[in-house]
Amino acid sequence: MTVSSVAGPMGSELAGVLSGAVQAENRVNDVLCGHLTSEMMTAQTPGGGMTVAQHLAHMAGSTKFWLSQLDEGAASPLPVLYDETQMDAFVAQDDPARAAAVMREVWTAALHTATAATVLGDLPHPSPAQFVLHMLGHTAYHRGQIALALKVNGFPLPDEDRMWGPMRGSL
């Protein structure tokens, strides 16, 4: 299923707006991950914060977690970007292309499930649409953390026009 083929009980206009936002989210994540190298994945935010790889794993993993609160069946088959066998450490995979693919898969499932939802499940959000909006803001925050990690570790940042273009509808 493509992101653009969703509609549901929340109404076609709102579903269309959220679909456009998630499409832009996927393109921004693709641009970011396309810019990253394996070396960049180890860059860490100041003060002992997460690595770029950990931020990406958290972005996908937290969206999957909240999706599971809405619909466990929709979330359970989705992949993760960290080693689930490591309970005492957050070991993230370091392949930027895989990160982009997993985030795209998670976001597509989240949008499809939220726009089709008629109940909130165990979400602490006022609506499935609010869940999608919350997660969009959350991933934007972590992209900012990734930019900080890259900058303070001497790596170039992604092209600003390419990063902002999808949100402006130009890419």
What's the one-letter identity of residue 15? Answer: A
Answer yes or no: is 2 within a domain: no
pTM tops 0.85: yes
Strand partners, 45: none
pLDDT of 157: 95
What's the one-letter identity of residue 117? Answer: A
The string of pLDDT tens digits covering residues 1-51 is 444 444 445 567 777 888 999 999 999 999 999 999 999 999 999 898 999
* DSSP E strand boundaries for the chain: none
Intervals of the chain under pLDDT 70: 1-11, 87, 171
- DSSP calls for 31-50: HHHHH--TTGGG-B-TTT--
Answer yes or no: is 94 within a domain: yes
Answer yes or no: is 88 within a domain: yes
> How many structural domains does the chain have?
1
Answer yes or no: is 138 within a domain: yes
pLDDT of 87: 67
For residue 46, the domain's CATH number is: 1.20.120.450
pLDDT of 6: 45
- On the 0-12 / 13-18 / 19+ scale of CB atoms within 10 A, 47 is exposed
Answer yes or no: is 163 within a domain: yes
Give yes or no for a contact between 50 and 58, defined as CB atoms under 8 angstroms apart: yes
Answer yes or no: is 7 within a domain: no
Query: Structural domain of residue 95, as residue ranges?
Result: 12-168
